[in-house]
Amino acid sequence: MKNISILGSTGSIGKQTLEIAREHPEKYKIVGLAVMNNIDELELQIEEFQPKLVTVFDEAKAKILASRIASKIKVYYGVEGLIEVASHQDNHMVINSVVGSIGVLPTIAAIKNKIDIGLANKETLVAAGKLVLEECKKNNVSIIPVDSEHSAIFQCIQGETDENIAKIILTASGGPFRNWSYQDIENAAAKEALKHPNWSMGKKISIDSATLMNKGLEVIEARWLFGIDVEKIEVVIHPQSVIHSMVETIDASIIGQLGVPDMKLPIQYALSYPKRIKGKVKKLDFKRYNTLTFEEPDFVRFPCLELAYAAMKIGGTMPCVLNTANEVLVDYYLKDKIKFYDIAKYIEKIMGAHNAFHYNNVEELLALEEWVKSWLLDELR
Ligand SMILES: NC(=O)C1=CN([C@@H]2O[C@H](COP(=O)(O)OP(=O)(O)OC[C@H]3O[C@@H](n4cnc5c(N)ncnc54)[C@H](OP(=O)(O)O)[C@@H]3O)[C@@H](O)[C@H]2O)C=CC1
Ligand SMILES: CC(=O)[C@@H](O)[C@H](O)COP(=O)(O)O
Ligand SMILES: [Mn+2]
């Protein structure tokens, strides 16, 4: 039996993780659950999965939930609550599927308690990759990727040495605006940007897919997960999202992982690794997907991808600045306060205003995030 806690259990990844636990009750036991404020759904999850503890980030909502469930289990709140759930001694693995760099602190807390991580929350590695990887090494803890591209690469490199790998090729769907003109994208409303062609996901990652920042964040995520130079990570547009990513080896072989676009497979692989188990994922029917195509990414219509490469090449605190600015600006775009290309415009501006430095602890990153937020507030006033 593997004991797991899920951070973000009411979200797209969190709910699919619970579906797998529901399917395999003899394999997975839920220890803890964490949400932002959706206490109605969390209450149903508590009834079904009987966790030992839960946390609701919003303190007022946490108190309402606690009164509803009449102290059957402990209800925490805030960042401390996330840390309590992530570091619970019964956990064998924490699935981190919250949105944004709020995922950093509970990830580090779990690692310090020698608990493995199933990582969907890519922002954790973008903001604090160096620290997180250092903690993993110190505590002999593994991060198993949940993000579909990184799960694909992880599956492709099983049995390969680092020296065998020449290049990582991350596939990108191209998002909903792949064939739109610059002018149309410029005026696109958030509701258009939310219509991802292949995946049903939360709002923030859907906007990131539309700007291609999602792929930029994934380049940085891959750099940390696989310890590979960013120059050796290539992005190719593959509109069908059937090849989830590829690895080129030094003898010019290309190894890819294929499947229907369904997050259940990477989530299940993270839970079952190093074993594979049977699940409810549909098999790929090559007669239906009989045309697989590839294109170069367009850095003019999608400037965020280039900004992410630039941030990683500069290194140090620059990816954290890029990530925080992106989180703030995506939220503004979702609320119709800015236009699509303002996301890239203000990220570029704040990157120009920041002198990157090598950070040594999480406090430096938290202070930097505050600086980014107030800088953007001033700029967008
Ligand atoms: N969806 C997907 O297919 C994929 C997602 N990812 C990554 O996984 C992560 C999650 O994405 P997704 O599931 O789509 O997002 P969703 O928006 O669907 O879900 C987010 C979840 O996190 C919870 N949450 C948000 N903030 C906090 C907080 N401060 N404390 C506790 N819980 C919080 C939300 O709770 P509440 O419901 O109460 O708001 C919700 O349960 C992101 O980093 C994304 O980039 C990666 C690959 C694929
Ligand atoms: C399912 C998943 O892993 C997402 O990150 C997905 O890749 C987003 O699609 P894009 O390829 O459009 O960014
Ligand atoms: Mn992905």
Query: If pLDDT is split at 50, 70 and 90, which confidence band does 83 have?
Result: very high
Cα distance between residue 286 and residue 281, in whole Å:
15
Cα distance between residue 215 and residue 314, in whole Å:
18
- What does the domain layout of the chain look like in residue ranges? 2-141
Query: If pLDDT is split at 50, 70 and 90, which confidence band does 77 have?
Result: very high
pLDDT in tens, 88-128: 999 999 999 999 999 999 999 999 999 999 999 999 999 99
Dihedrals phi, psi of 354, to nearest 5 degrees:
-105, 130
Average pLDDT in the 127-152 region?
98
> Residue 50, by phi and psi: left (phi above 0), alpha (psi -120 to 50) or beta?
left
Q: Is 80 annotated for ligand binding?
A: no
Which ipTM did the prediction report?
0.99
- In this prediction, residue 272 carries a pLDDT of 98
Which of 19, 35, 122, 265 to mutate to test ligand 1, by most ligand atoms within 8 A of the CB atom?
35
pLDDT in tens, 155-193: 999 999 999 999 999 999 999 999 999 999 999 999 999
- Ligand 2 atom closest to Cα of residue 122: 5
- In this prediction, residue 257 carries a pLDDT of 98
pLDDT in tens, 219-231: 999 999 999 999 9
Query: If pLDDT is split at 50, 70 and 90, which confidence band does 27 have?
Result: very high
pLDDT cut 70: percent of the chain above it: 100
- In this prediction, residue 171 carries a pLDDT of 98
Burial class (CB in 10 A: 0-12, 13-18, 19+), 2: middle
- Using alpha carbons only, give the angle 354, 329, 318 rounded to the nearest 5 degrees: 25
Confidence (pTM): 0.98
- In this prediction, residue 297 carries a pLDDT of 98
Ligand of minimum distance to the alpha carbon of 235: 2
Cα distance between residue 149 and residue 156, in whole Å:
10
d(CA 291, ligand 1 centre) in Å: 32
- In this prediction, residue 261 carries a pLDDT of 97
Q: Is 87 annotated for ligand binding?
A: no
pLDDT in tens, 239-262: 999 999 999 999 999 999 999 999
d(CA 149, ligand 2 centre) in Å: 8
Query: If pLDDT is split at 50, 70 and 90, which confidence band does 236 have?
Result: very high
Average pLDDT in the 368-372 region?
98
Identity at 368, one-letter amino acid code: L
The answer to whether 264 and 16 are in contact (CB under 8 A) is yes
Q: CATH number of the domain at 2-141, please?
A: 3.40.50.720
Inform me whether the pLDDT recorded for 70 exceeds 90: no
Residue whose CA is at the smallest distance from ligand 1 atom 15: 202
Inform me whether the pLDDT recorded for 379 exceeds 90: yes
Q: Is 355 annotated for ligand binding?
A: no
d(CA 77, ligand 2 centre) in Å: 30
- Ligand 2 atom closest to Cα of residue 172: 11
Inform me whether the pLDDT recorded for 71 exceeds 80: no
Dihedrals phi, psi of 120, to nearest 5 degrees:
-95, -35
Q: Which two tokens stand for residue 134?
A: 């250092």
Ligand 3 ion local residues (Cβ < 5 A): 147-149
Q: Is 374 annotated for ligand binding?
A: no
d(CA 229, ligand 3 centre) in Å: 19
Dihedrals phi, psi of 238, to nearest 5 degrees:
-135, 90
- Other residues' Cβ atoms within 10 Å of the Cβ of residue 113: 16
Q: How far is CA 19 from the centre of its chain?
A: 19
Q: Is 272 in the pocket of ligand 2 (CB under 6 A)?
A: no
Q: Is 151 in the pocket of ligand 1 (CB under 6 A)?
A: no
Q: Which of 32-41, 236-245, 283-292 has the lowest mean pLDDT?
A: 283-292
Q: Which two tokens stand for residue 337?
A: 């306060």
Q: Is 187 annotated for ligand binding?
A: no
